[in-house]
Amino acid sequence: MARFFSFNAIDSCQTTGIHFDALCLTYGNDEDVSSLQFFGDLESSIKKCKVLPDCLVVMASAALATKLHDYWCADHTQQKTIVNRGTKSEFLFIKSYYFYAWCVTKLELIASHVLATQSYDISIEKLIQQGLRYLLEVNEVIQIAPAGHLFKHPSGTRSKVFIQAREMARSEPELFFVANAICLRMGRVLQDAEMVFIDTMGIYHYVREALKAAGNKARIESFHSYGEEMKKLSPPIDSYICVISASTSGGMAGELVNNLGFDPNKVVTLIDVTEKNRCGSVLMPLDTLGEVYVGLLEKGMGTETEIELVGEHFSSKAKPPRTVALGVPHQPKLLGEFLNHFALLGVGKLNSNFGNGPANPKLLCLDASPLTNNLEFTQWLDDEVAWCITLAVDHVIHASDPTSKVIAELAAKRIQEFRQTTIPPAVISHDDLCKESLGNAKGILVVTAVAGDGGGLREISRDLREYICTETPRHFLAAVGLPQTAESWARLKQFLERNPTKRKYGFSNWLMLPVGYDGKDSAWEQLNKLAKKAEGGETAAVEGIDQEIVNESLEQLAQLVFKSHQGFLPKHNGGELALTEGFVFFGGKFETEIQEMKIASSVVYLAIASALQCARELKDVNNQLKSTGYESVVLAPECFLRFNDNILQACLLRACHSSELDYSASPHLSKLMQEFLTKVFDRHSHKYGDAALEFAAALAIGRLKLKKDDLDDVIKFAIARLKHQASPLLGFLLLARR
């Protein structure tokens, strides 16, 4: 069970105006936290940060906050460990530690540990609002209707947004945080109230916890939001408060205040799209929480399809999934150019890492060294220096890899030529970056050859905040970007460009190709876990199959998975999966190389993965491979017939999200996949079934899902054909049984 939750917040000091990043840890009520647990929580939270924060804020009940501060003061060894984790190159990054206690109407600072000369004057209310926004996003409280649709609420209101306030908290610390946030807004009214009205029992736990924090045991009474019961309400003689779960129009609060006579000072709505022209208070107005919620108040055109809401429950499984067939419209615009430069030399094996040995392998790894001799790239670099990069640059910082260093030296040489000076800008590796190495820098250029979601660039940007003043111009140059999504790349650009001054820092990029999820829970890692389970666990007897065959099949499975970690599972005869001519996303290129088997499997995977990601981000919603709260979307089963090369089928199975291969909600789609898989397993020793191991593996790890009856029929049929001889395919099918 969760003991705490953490979130990151950005604010500026109320005294100096200096911007800072805060890491906030908030604990549940009455938690029994030991000293070892507390310091472990601090360390794990700091480790998860993409960049080191400027300060750390701990929020807890008064008793627990005092206890945690006592731990901090008493254990100097553990305290030093945490301080060292917030230090880099002997320079303090985490400069302050603050301990706050919830005290009904305020969050009181009970102690601080300031290591720098200047502490931060924190607006704790702004941090709490960012914490609430974090909960809205991570718990998927807000559902936005897909294009061409509007939600029709029980009140009759039609809007783009559906708010599930009951989902705000999914753990005890989150519940405690939300309840105390309510207290901060309405604490005195809660303390005095003898009755609390709520519009739904879905928020009962928030209100009960808020009353507990206020030291009150008032009675809670629920009324139906829109119906005859609400019209019977009238303000009681005794003190009261009315809590509304969520609203998109402010209609309920307006009805209570304007027509039923409730005091607006005793009415609070937890979530609303805005607080403008609303009766009562709004705890979380969405239009103040970021650009993603802008436009929620826009009226429809009158031609949208209505999604009628009944009650609070809402699920995309309420309707059959929509299918999307991958094709030419989903080809990324820059894929062809990307392949021209990297298809033959630049893409390494899957789950490898150029230059850093086996450490920190990446699903897709790019060797950017050919860039330094690439005429198109060097011409682009010349143009960027001439048109976009400030001539104030006198220091060039590069990521800690050889190619980034060469590009940085090229850029420094071009800057020197344009400045017509004999002194080139200093070129510094990120490993050597410190306050002394920058001296009196007048301008900074940061260079990296390849960036994913930009963790390295974020780290350099964070370091620069400590070493040079904010007003010093800086420019970030990422030659090639391989982010997971276009959105994550946009967030990186925003992070690097924005600063407290009125101007933006510069950002340049030559090629960028979103390639989808490349995290630690990839299909390869899921298979490794399955193989370890098959290798080490005791196997239950399987009726009708000799136990030795079962054990041998699982052992062969484990060996094959470990052997294939940098590629795909082989064909039945042990041969590698291969591509044939005519692959649509290659656009007629590399035909000779395909015949000569010179195209690496990782290049094929990159093409499929980028096409799938393009499908998820496509503007045409009818052809978009993206599920919403209203509608689930899956890859059309016909794709496995369209892309019938064994390696393409394997790439689809590995690069798709699990939800995109979940056919269990549609009897029709599940039956189509059952028929296809039956043929694949039946012909596993022929060309048609070359990818049989990949399909069986996808079933075994749960990436490919069918209705239970269909899955049972497929497995029963295949096992009956394979049970007389041990094989990895039999092993996967045995593990795929439910």
What is the distance between the alpha carbons of residues 595 and 109, in angstroms, rounded to a whole number?
70
Assess contact for 729 and 572: CB atoms under 8 A: yes
Tokens 């399955």, located at residue: 530
Structure tokens at 146: 């897909």
- Give 602 or 251, the one with higher predicted confidence: 602
pLDDT at 497: 96
Assess contact for 13 and 121: CB atoms under 8 A: yes
Contacts 24+ apart (CB under 8 A), 351-359: 351/524, 351/565, 351/566, 352/566, 355/401, 355/402, 356/401
Rounded average pLDDT over 630-655:
94
Rounded average pLDDT over 287-311:
64
Work out the pLDDT band at 357, boundaries 50, 70, 90.
very low
Tokens 């390696």, located at residue: 647
- pLDDT tens-place string over residues 474-526: 999 999 999 999 999 999 999 999 998 889 999 999 999 999 988 778 999 99
The closest of 659, 406, 700, 331 to 528, measured between CA atoms, is 700
Structure tokens at 133: 């926004």
pTM of the model: 0.84
- DSSP assignments along 209-229, one per residue: HHHHHTT---EEEE--SSSHH
pLDDT surpasses 80 at 224: no
Assess contact for 628 and 146: CB atoms under 8 A: yes
Structure tokens at 635: 């890859």
Provide the CA 116 distance to its chain's centre, in angstroms.
33
Rounded average pLDDT over 396-414:
96
Provide the CA 88 distance to its chain's centre, in angstroms.
27
Assess contact for 672 and 637: CB atoms under 8 A: yes
User: Where do the DSSP E strands lie in 79-235?
Assistant: 87-88, 91-92, 96-103, 106-114, 142-144, 149-152, 158-159, 161-163, 195-198, 219-222
Q: What residues contact residue 292 under an 8 Å CB cut-off, 6+ apart?
A: none
Q: Among 156-160, 228-232, 712-716, which range has the highest average pLDDT?
A: 712-716
What is the distance between the alpha carbons of residues 468 and 457, in angstroms, rounded to a whole number?
16
pLDDT surpasses 70 at 312: no
143 pairs with which residues across the strands? 162
Q: What residues contact residue 43 under an 8 Å CB cut-off, 6+ apart?
A: 81, 82, 85
What is the distance between the alpha carbons of residues 43 and 646, in angstroms, rounded to a whole number?
46
Share of the chain above pLDDT 90, in %: 74
Please give the order of strands across the beta sheet that includes 149-152.
158-159, 149-152, 305-308
Angle at which helices 667-682 and 708-722 cross, to 10°: 10
